[in-house]
Structure 1
């Protein structure tokens, strides 16, 4: 709901990376599931996603129903959770390119597990307040910045280039399964136990993720300090690659636009569902789970859709599909008797469109980016597309308190749709084959007649 830049002077040569599992599989069928390191990463992410989905529903329920948060406080909570992408999003990419990626992910998992476990502890002593959720959101968000930038940079190290799309599809499919089962399970748990205890499940999920990531065996070399250029120069290399590659620049600006304006809708969704519509957390969980089935379908269909309508066109179509649900969600307030089917339909379509869009564009950018630049490239994109989220959160809270929840949602829906023009009126429309490298020109034959 991701032109050639100068080669980094401090870059590791891709040739020094030894992919032991992948090398052993080279003589066998090119299946990413034969790669044991990838499977361990997939298992860790699956457990992490299950725990995260339990907590994703529990935390807004905790804020709205237990701590009686206002629209402004809900907006600030959303802003705190994504603030790190704006504050440290750019240097994280350079830092990650200097670090061993598996260790970065393990540290991020450990930090998130410990911090989230403190919520039920403070609640048990009767001292939990809304401001502490802001602190937890900011710390967890910072760890997530490190994990996400590292994670997207790590996949190409574990699998062969031709397996990147399949690897991403597998990871996104399992994430969507978690998005189906997690909210439903969370809703059921919230019906029988307090929200702070459900948050504890998120912490446990991160502990499982830590264990599986720790078990991955790779040969990523130690990065020597003498290899690295100055931090500003490294950050600049990532930004120049992203904004100097025309198609990548379009995709990044489109995603940032959608997150900024679509965030006005998604930030206020818990208030609409739990307070204005008066639905229970259990019903909210079931609605979210049923809608997330669309994401599973999207993850499974992306390779086929890319072949049928083209690798560039599928990005445009998925962006347009994703812009429809923000118009459907506020209709639930106008037609409360049909609120549940409207919300399920909107969530289903949104999950489908976003997953197709993300798999297609992330696979494209992983494919064209030089491996030593992956961390900075991902960080530069995350800085733009997630850095707007705290702005969106504060704006949603302010407008929601001033104009009302549904009016703010309508504004977000219209602006989200207009943002699709960034990719709609671009060479991506009608493009059958995306470039395989940053310097590869767009050939006339790559455009559909």
Structure 2
């Protein structure tokens, strides 16, 4: 660990400071419990996302009804991001996550009971999807805000790195396990396992002893003065004051803008344009798309491993912006030569760069945003991403009928580079 006085929350690592080993947070009992529980919870999410469509389709629900159910789930989830952030700042991130996972286990068990009764009417599916979406919306900001409560401040960067590795792994394991369960057994078994993962997650959160509430120190106040967004603690009790803080803080303001623009550019590229590119110009179909997604996942893991190193470099804010611009350039290289090898390498590179940037900015937010506003700030962040998702997917889908996927991919890459280029306009942001 670092030598000298222990660094307090709200301060940033300085260049040349001794590194915290990547696996060091695992020696902290609370973080180890958290990581295990959330890995199971996210695997459960992946199982659910594969199992739900086949429950409906196998019972004659049809694609139209499936679309309605998923739209209700997504709308409920998006609408409750701010509610989740408010609850986090009032009650704490850990209790909110615990309650959300326990209730999600009950919702999934209710779904199992309905599925066992035979054909499930549309209204019943919606009655399950909406509370599941609400709980997911409450859970998400809490999961972004909980880390400062369960690890030492100097372990935030490696902790975020390990969490990102866990998330990348879960996104592969969860859907794969869900598909295997549906294919070899039945959807009900997949749902039972999903409920079990949420229950185990809530138990691990219950076993984590809460830390004392953070008390603002002089160093924290100085760090937020440097960020340009300092607010008196009492003023951050209302949403209006948090929005004023977000607007006045270069770190928060630019993160929100970058998140919105990045997701508008990248979501449609990954979820819509890439499958079309694999099916058409690349001529490799689902297999080619799967190979590219594997490259994307592997890049995310490698980038997460390298992420903490960025916080120890001089001019790290400037370097992070340059890495983001390079990510967009890498995405623009996907269609070069219509080669699966080139496309996979480009996605691997882009995902690696994005993971490094994610670890950096998430750690900086967790260190700099006042503890009593962190949940609501994180809810703003996930709301920006959530709003961009359907807009990007719809826009990309609408233009692909008249524009080649290669053009869409190049424009999306330009959009990603543009998102990070905006950061150069803010001196405090590029000088983080």
Q: Same fold (TM over 0.5)?
A: yes
Cα pair 2:39 2:166 within 8 Å, conserved: yes
**Aligned residue runs from structure 1 range 12-31, under 5 A:** 31=24
**Aligned residue runs from structure 1 range 351-362, under 5 A:** 351-362=351-362
Answer yes or no: is 1:418 the counterpart of 2:412. Answer: no
Closer/same/farther in 2, CA of residues 141 and 388 from structure 1, 3 Å limit: farther
* Greater CA drift, 407-416 or 32-41: 407-416
Deviations 1:327-372 (A, max 9, x none): 678x69x96xx66x67755654454343222211110111111112
Closer/same/farther in 2, CA of residues 50 and 91 from structure 1, 3 Å limit: closer
Matched with 1:387 is: 387
Cα pair 2:84 2:140 within 8 Å, conserved: no
For the residues of structure 2 that align with 1:405 and 1:350, how far apart are their CA atoms?
Answer: 27
**Aligned residue runs from structure 1 range 33-44, under 5 A:** 33-44=26-37
Aligned residue among 114, 132, 148 for 2:106: 114
Give TM-score, length-normalised by structure 1. Answer: 0.69
**Aligned residue runs from structure 1 range 315-394, under 5 A:** 315-323=320-328, 345=345, 348-392=348-392
Closer/same/farther in 2, CA of residues 178 and 403 from structure 1, 3 Å limit: closer
* Greater CA drift, 306-315 or 267-276: 267-276
Matched with 1:311 is: 316
Cα pair 2:97 2:139 within 8 Å, conserved: yes
For the residues of structure 1 that align with 2:47 and 2:129, how far apart are their CA atoms?
Answer: 15
Cα pair 2:277 2:406 within 8 Å, conserved: no
For the residues of structure 1 that align with 2:142 and 2:272, how far apart are their CA atoms?
Answer: 30
Matched with 2:397 is: 400
How far 1:100 moved relative to its partner? 3.7
Closer/same/farther in 2, CA of residues 269 and 40 from structure 1, 3 Å limit: farther
For the residues of structure 1 that align with 2:176 and 2:402, how far apart are their CA atoms?
Answer: 25
Closer/same/farther in 2, CA of residues 108 and 256 from structure 1, 3 Å limit: same
How far 1:229 moved relative to its partner? 7.8
SS in 1 for 2:256: helix
**Aligned residue runs from structure 1 range 33-432, under 5 A:** 33-59=26-52, 69=63, 79-84=71-76, 86-128=78-120, 136-194=128-186, 197-219=189-211, 234-268=238-272, 288-289=293-294, 291-307=296-312, 310-323=315-328, 345=345, 348-392=348-392, 395=394, 400=397, 404=401, 411=408, 414-415=411-412, 417-427=414-424
* Greater CA drift, 149-158 or 264-273: 264-273
Cα pair 1:41 1:212 within 8 Å, conserved: yes
Matched with 1:6 is: none
Deviations 1:107-130 (A, max 9, x none): 110222233344555445442477
How far 1:257 moved relative to its partner? 1.6
For the residues of structure 2 that align with 1:254 and 1:80, how far apart are their CA atoms?
Answer: 27
Cα pair 1:89 1:387 within 8 Å, conserved: no
Aligned residues: 389
For the residues of structure 1 that align with 2:268 and 2:365, how far apart are their CA atoms?
Answer: 27
For the residues of structure 1 that align with 2:274 and 2:196, how far apart are their CA atoms?
Answer: 24
SS in 2 for 1:298: helix
Cα pair 1:113 1:204 within 8 Å, conserved: yes
How far 1:236 moved relative to its partner? 1.6
Cα pair 1:77 1:137 within 8 Å, conserved: yes
Closer/same/farther in 2, CA of residues 314 and 192 from structure 1, 3 Å limit: farther
How far 1:151 moved relative to its partner? 2.4
Closer/same/farther in 2, CA of residues 68 and 374 from structure 1, 3 Å limit: same
Give TM-score, length-normalised by structure 2. Answer: 0.72
How far 1:274 moved relative to its partner? 11
Q: Which has the higher contact order (CA 8 A, sep 6+)?
A: 1
Runs of 5+ unmatched residues, structure 2? 1-7, 9-22, 214-232
Closer/same/farther in 2, CA of residues 417 and 187 from structure 1, 3 Å limit: farther
For the residues of structure 2 that align with 1:347 and 1:190, how far apart are their CA atoms?
Answer: 30
For the residues of structure 2 that align with 1:283 and 1:67, how far apart are their CA atoms?
Answer: 30
For the residues of structure 1 that align with 2:51 and 2:273, how far apart are their CA atoms?
Answer: 14
Deviations 1:167-200 (A, max 9, x none): 2112222222323433444444454345564354
Closer/same/farther in 2, CA of residues 139 and 209 from structure 1, 3 Å limit: same
Runs of 5+ unmatched residues, structure 1? 1-14, 16-29, 222-227, 432-440
RMSD: 4.4
How far 1:209 moved relative to its partner? 0.8
For the residues of structure 1 that align with 2:406 and 2:125, how far apart are their CA atoms?
Answer: 24
